[in-house]
A and B are shown apart, each in its own frame.
Chain A
Amino acid sequence: MRIALAGNPNSGKTTLFNAITGRIEHVGNWPGVTVAKKEGDVKKELNRSGMDIRAVDLPGAYSISPFTSEESITSSFVRNEHPDVIINTVDATSLRRSLFFTTQLLELGIPVVVALNKIDLVKKKGIVIKTEKLAEKLKCRVVETSSAHKKGLSELIAAAAEVCGKGQEAPFRGAVDLDSTDEAAVEAVDRERFAFVDRLVSEVEIRKTDSAAQTMQDAADRIIAHKYLGIPIFAVVMFLVFQISQVWLGPWLADYFVGIIDSFQGRVEGLLGDGVSPLLSALLLDGIIGGVSAVVGFLPLIMVMFFLLALLEDCGYMARVAVVMDRYLKKVGLSGRSIIPMILGTGCAIPGVMATRTIRDLRQRRTTAMLTPFMPCGAKLPVIALFAGVFFEDAGWVGPLMYFAGIAIIIIGALIVKNIAKEGPAKTFFIMELPEYRFPGIKRAAISMLSRAKHFIIKAGTIILVCNAVVHIMQTFTWSLQVVEEGMENTSILASIASPFAFLLIPLGFGAWQLAAAALTGFIAKENVVGTLAVVYSISNFIDTEEFVLVSGAGDVASALGLTSVSALAYLMFNLFTPPCFAAIGAMNAEMGSRKWFWAAIGFQFGMGYTVAYLVNQIGTLITTGSFGDGVIPGLLAVACYVGILVYLMYRKEQGAAAGVKEAA
């Protein structure tokens, strides 16, 4: 049998889904995290019915009539796909609002079990709910649950199994054959529905305190989401996240971890012995193990970072960040909802880009999909960490600077797109339920962290491993399949492919083919930048096990790479702010649904990455050495070309703009 989980946004559907299926879907303590339906089998230990039960997690909805795209997924699923049972998760702290949707679900004739979720919060708030009476009035089973604390789950599944196959009586029935185009009539019915819910709630619920009263939380909000303080607080929080993950805790864990990798590499070397061809052993040791371990070495650091980000999300802080950022995003023509994809994008750009479908306005949705990848994602963290360690002595400010640079580029990009598209956006509204602050679940954060780590390791063991092997082979052989001679590295396949690109990068301060090759492999997966650098410069490990610093012999690595701190910063920013990896580019293509927008986005991202790197390198070089770096004129021409195109597009005649928009739509 199939159970659909439906309920209001942030009522805990995905938490419940994860708890009953043992899956680890991304959960956020804020609305709008789930944008597509997800399925999973209910765990055996919760399911005593003997039937196979499959659960379907649906995006949050306030009503059965679809106003947002997530709501339409939910309503079309419960209406058309005939689930056997609907579990309606209800936030027990706001029955007056939640039961509106419940009464609509009860009309469908599909058996409904109400999961009275967040029941622990109800008790804390001094609210008393007469559950039995509620069940009697709603004419369906009601089970008290707390999905965050895994309470009431097996009772819930048992109730669902019991009602399976039975019909459902509706306690309140709006006229079924109502003409949905008759707005007044629909509204009248819905008004009655709310009145019915109000009467019902006053019978079953006793509130000791007025929920409209000011609480400590509201006082906290006034500081955390303050007009002027909000941004500095966010900056401090991000700085702490980086400081802890890269300077305080990260290196300590990485130390231990890299020790294991090192001994593994040593053991493989011993196993191979002398009988194996040196070519093969170099491929295995330097190419595959060396490259992969350079990437995997950063795993502890990334895990610490994701753990902290999960804590922030879980405690309710990220929802406040969305409120703080809303006004800035609106000024540049984005929707307040655009912040959600961007925050998800800090983990991985793909779910971030997918989350843009919650944005109603087409232009805003496409613009957000185009700009979300500028947010540094998890795969870019090893690159940031490497450069922070090698060139900036593990400075804690490098990471946050990259995030704020990303945000700045997003804002500039949004302004540019707003001026190019010229289309007055449909008036959009930002509405978001503010979740309550809560003590973040250590276990939940740990689970989220482990699932990220798992993805990271799988990726390192597949795509990155293969890429490193290919890179190693390509730099070992010439086109005539001869082994590259010592001192003739420029004749390798890799060098000849990467050199033309390297030429283009001279104005940015990094014209070496090795660096160009690393940037190129970065489009397959951004972690590859680190792996490829390790392979081409045969640095087996960036992380030192002797010293208590993140990157070993920072000076040696810096001289091997042949970059100044300025050009290193330029290289780092180039890798962060050019188009994302191919997988994320694919997601962008899917969400934009327009070739024209898609190619414009790719071009825009390339131009942006190039321009930012150019400016950082040339201006930085001018400040540090007193003169411009190499290739200032050709680079200037390229950047001027790019800016010229943007300016032309922004100021072209209105008529042309209108035609362009039409075509795009």
Chain B
Amino acid sequence: MELALANIFFNRKAKNSKAVKQHNLTHAEVNRPYVIRGIDTDDRSVKDFLFTLGCYEGEKVTVISVLADNYIIHVKDARYSIDRDLAKAILI
């Protein structure tokens, strides 16, 4: 019981500190290459879909420009327009 409680507490703490520390693509400087640290989403299929585009941890990503609420990113020699929510999910 105690252990479980401790676990919950610990996990929550870990999660909170993670949220503060991590930077995502919305914080990226335009035109500077970054390395993707991870994809933060509850939706497994979104992660898998991004993977097929070559957007996964360890890969390089560059924000080309920010248009309206969309981010033009460069991954694996191709350009995509992604929305803000998706940009938030890509941790750098």
Contacts and interface: CB of A to CB of B under 8 A. Distances in A.
Interface string B54-92: 101000001011011110101111111111011001000
Contacts of A438: none
A519 interface: no
A52 interface: no
A221 B67 contact: yes
Contacts of A429: 46, 82-83, 85-86, 89
Given A94-B76, A191-B56, A427-B43, A226 B65 contact: no
Contacts of B82: 429-431
Interface string A176-216: 00000001000100110010000000000001000110100
28 contacts: A62-B52, A65-B48, A65-B52, A67-B45, A67-B49, A94-B78, A97-B53, A97-B54, A97-B75, A97-B76, A183-B44, A187-B51, A190-B52, A194-B56, A212-B62, A218-B64, A218-B72, A221-B72, A225-B68, A227-B67, A319-B81, A324-B68, A326-B69, A327-B69, A430-B83, A433-B81, A434-B79, A434-B81
Contacts of B48: 65, 67
Contacts of B76: 94, 96-97
A97 B78 contact: yes
A94 B56 CA distance: 17
A430 B79 CA distance: 14
Contact of B54 (A96, A187, A432): A96
Given A212-B62, A330-B83, A430 B70 contact: yes
A91 B77 CA distance: 11
B62 A323 contact: no
A67 to B, nearest CB: 4
Q: Size band of the B side of the interface? A: 20 to 34
A93 interface: yes
A191 B58 CA distance: 10
A63 interface: yes
B33 interface: yes
A68 B49 CA distance: 9
Which of B53, B62, B68, B89 has the largest count of A CB atoms less than 10 A from its CB? B68
Please provide the 6 A-B residue pairs with the shortest distance between their CB atoms, ordered closest to farther: A63-B52, A94-B78, A225-B67, A327-B69, A62-B52, A96-B76
Contacts of B86: 429-431
Interface residues of A, number: 44
A190 B79 contact: no
B22 interface: no
B69 A427 contact: no
B50 to A, nearest CB: 8
B11 interface: no
A230 interface: yes
A580 B51 CA distance: 40
B60 to A, nearest CB: 8
Nearest to A215: B64
A101 B78 CA distance: 14
A93 to B, nearest CB: 7
Nearest to A213: B31
A427 B44 CA distance: 12
Q: Which secondary structure dominates chain B's binding surface?
A: mixed
A432 B68 contact: no
A100 B68 CA distance: 31
Given A326-B69, A434-B79, 8 more contacts: A67-B48, A68-B49, A100-B54, A225-B67, A323-B68, A323-B70, A430-B83, A430-B86
B70 A225 contact: yes
A68 B72 CA distance: 21
Given A67-B49, A221-B67, A211 B85 contact: no
A620 interface: no
A254 to B, nearest CB: 38
Interface string A375-406: 00000000000000000000000000000000
Interface in B8-64: 31, 33, 43-46, 48-49, 51-54, 56, 62, 64
Given A67-B45, A190-B51, A212-B64, A93 B77 contact: yes
A324 B81 CA distance: 11
B34 to A, nearest CB: 11
A609 interface: no
Contacts of B89: 429
Contact of B70 (A65, A97, A326, A433): A326
A207 B65 CA distance: 22
A187 B48 CA distance: 8
Contacts of A100: 52, 54
Interface in A78-122: 91, 93-97, 100-101
Which of A100, A101, A212, A227 has the largest count of B CB atoms less than 10 A from its CB? A212
Given A93-B77, A226-B68, A427 B53 contact: no
A351 interface: no
A524 B78 CA distance: 45
A323 B86 CA distance: 14
Given A212-B33, A326-B68, A434 B80 contact: yes
Contacts of A95: 77
Interface in A213-253: 214, 218, 221-222, 225-227, 230
A187 B82 CA distance: 22
Which of A65, A218, A427, A431 has the largest count of B CB atoms less than 10 A from its CB? A431
A432 B81 contact: yes
A514 to B, nearest CB: 46
Contact of B67 (A65, A194, A211, A222): A222
A336 interface: yes
Which of A67, A93, A330 has the largest count of B CB atoms less than 10 A from its CB? A67
B83 A62 contact: no
Nearest to B78: A94
B21 to A, nearest CB: 23
Nearest to B48: A67
